[in-house]
Structure 1
């Protein structure tokens, strides 16, 4: 555990510049202000749901957040050569296309209508929504890893490592009181639990906890591709080009994918994303991040279930 804290201090010592971090914080503040003032994602981008322009709009949002952040890092660290690097454009382009398609993917709606003649449409929709990342993120990144990546070592941090496991467990434990506090807030209970009562358990003739468990497993799966792309591909993979500079632009984009969530969650993603990015760079593994990410996600689900049961 001491080694990881040492790695975190080293990262800050090497990468930290007050002008860069202040400029990045200002860029993040501007993005958050715009989104939560005009409700950019929910009221504008998501009105194109099911339209071919939907993923294109997401691409515009994510490319803007990411490339401006990269420009800030390259400017202050005097690394403008990055913009002439073919590897940078291949990796960033692949990541942006994958996640934009994932965000604007809607074929699972038709699949849900066809499955069992649409009798369990709502349940199937949310399960398939969480599983579609197999096609839109995991498969493309694996193909990139096998046929494009010139420095393949492991599949972007998917190899389990024990380094830092205690620290990750401590960090997860520290989140428990925060999740408990958040569960008493009205905006939290508007978003969680993400599981909604459907007729699926009646259709299959099973208790509702069974269909809830199936849903939660699908919900938990969806965090694996997120960690794979943001901490694995954009940090461990992109460090081949940007070195430690891969972390800062990643957290700005990572914050942007939370624009449809409560403001507090979007802000906390900045700090959580930064810490997980540095630790992924140190351990060359995303398993610690998966532990925290899925643990927090299921923790929020459980807290919301308990609050709902209490009322």
Structure 2
């Protein structure tokens, strides 16, 4: 555990510049202000839900958040030659295309109508929504890793490692009081739990906890490709090009994928994303991040369930 704190300190010592971090903070504040003042994602981007332009709009949002952040890092660290790197454009392009298609994917809606003739449409929709990342993120990144990446030492941090697991467990434990506090806030209960009662348990003639468990497992899975892309591909993989500079731009893009969530969650994603990014770079593994990410997600679900049953 001490080695991980040392790695975090060394990363800050090497990467931190007051002008860079201040400029990046201003860029993030601008993004957050525009989104939460204008309700940008929900009112503008998501108004094209199901249309071919939907993933294109997401691409525009994510590319803007990411490339401006990369420019800031390369400018303040005097690494502007990075923009001439084909590998940088190829890797970042793959990541942006994959996640934009994932964010704007809607074929699962039609698939849900076809399963059991649409009798469990809502349940199937939400489960398939969480599982579609197998096609849109995991498979493309695996093919890139297998046939294109010239440095295939591991599948972007998917190799299990024990280094730092104790620290990750402590960090997860520290989140429990924060989750408990958040569960009393109206905007939190407006978003959680993400599971909603459907007729699926009646259709399958099983207790509702069975269908709730199936949904939560699908919901938990969705964090695997998120960690794989952001901490695995964009940090461990992109470090071949940007070195330690892979972390900060990833954090800004990672924050932007929370624009449809409560403001507090979007802001907290900056700190969580930064810490998980540095630790992934240190351990060359995303398993600790998965422990925290899925643990927090299920923790918020459980807290919201307890709040709803206590009313």
TM class, shorter-length: over 0.9
Partner of 1:132: 132
Report the counterpart of residue 244 of structure 1 in structure 2: 244
Aligned counterpart, 1:253 = 253
Deviations 1:66-118 (Å, cap 9, x if unpaired)?
A: 00000000000000111011110110000000000000000000000000000
**C-alpha distance in 1 between matches for 2:198 and 2:50:** 23
Q: CA RMSD in A?
A: 0.3
| Distance in structure 2 (CA, Å) of the matches to 1:176 and 1:60 | 35
> Is 1:65 equivalent to 2:56 in the alignment?
no
Structure-2 residue corresponding to 1:275: 275
Q: How many residues align?
A: 311
Instruction: State the alpha-carbon separation in 1 of the partners of residues 2 and 24 from structure 2.
Output: 28
Question: 1:84 is matched with which residue?
Answer: 84
* Secondary structure of residue in 1 paired with 2:260: coil
Q: CA deviation at 1:58?
A: 0.2
The alignment partner of 2:90 has SS state of helix
- In the other structure, the counterpart of 1:45 is 45
- Partner residue in 1 for 2:204: 204
Paired with 1:218 and 1:8, the residues of 2 have a C-alpha distance of 32
Q: Does 1:263 pair with 2:263?
A: yes
Name 1:308's counterpart in structure 2: 308
Q: Indicate the SS of the match to 1:160.
A: coil
1:11 match: 11
Deviation at 1:202, TM superposition (A): 0.1
Does structure 1 residue 298 correspond to structure 2 residue 298? yes
Q: For residues 61 and 156 of structure 1, what CA distance do their matches in structure 2 show?
A: 25
Please state how far the C-alpha of 1:148 moved relative to its aligned partner. Answer: 1.1
1-structure distance, mates of 2:262, 2:291: 22
Q: Secondary structure at the match of 2:193?
A: coil
The CA distance in 1 between the partners of 2:153 and 2:256, in whole Å, is 29
What is the CA deviation profile of residues 30-54 of structure 1, one whole-angstrom value per residue up to 9, with x for unaligned ones? Answer: 0000000000000110000000000
> Are 1:159 and 2:159 an aligned pair?
yes
Shift of the alpha carbon at 1:147?
A: 1.1
Q: Partners in 2 of 1:94 and 1:204 — Cα distance?
A: 40
Runs of 4+ in 1 over 6 A off after TM superposition: none
Cα offset for 1:293? 0.0
Q: Output the CA distance in 2 between the equivalents of 1:59 and 1:65.
A: 10
Name the structure 2 match of 1:224. Answer: 224
Q: Distance in 2 between matches of 1:148 and 1:35?
A: 36
Kindly provide the CA deviation profile for residues 195-225 of structure 1, in whole angstroms up to 9, marking residues without a partner as x: 0000000000000000000000000000000
Give the secondary-structure state (helix, strand or coil) at the position aligned to 2:160. coil
Distance 1:193 1:75 in 2: 42
Q: Give the alignment of 1:17-36 within 5 angstroms.
A: 17-36=17-36
Structure 1 gaps, min length 5: none
* Separation in 1, partners of 2:247, 2:32: 19
Cα distance in 2, alignment partners of residues 13 and 134 from structure 1:
37
TM-score of the superposed pair, with normalisation by structure 1 = 1.00
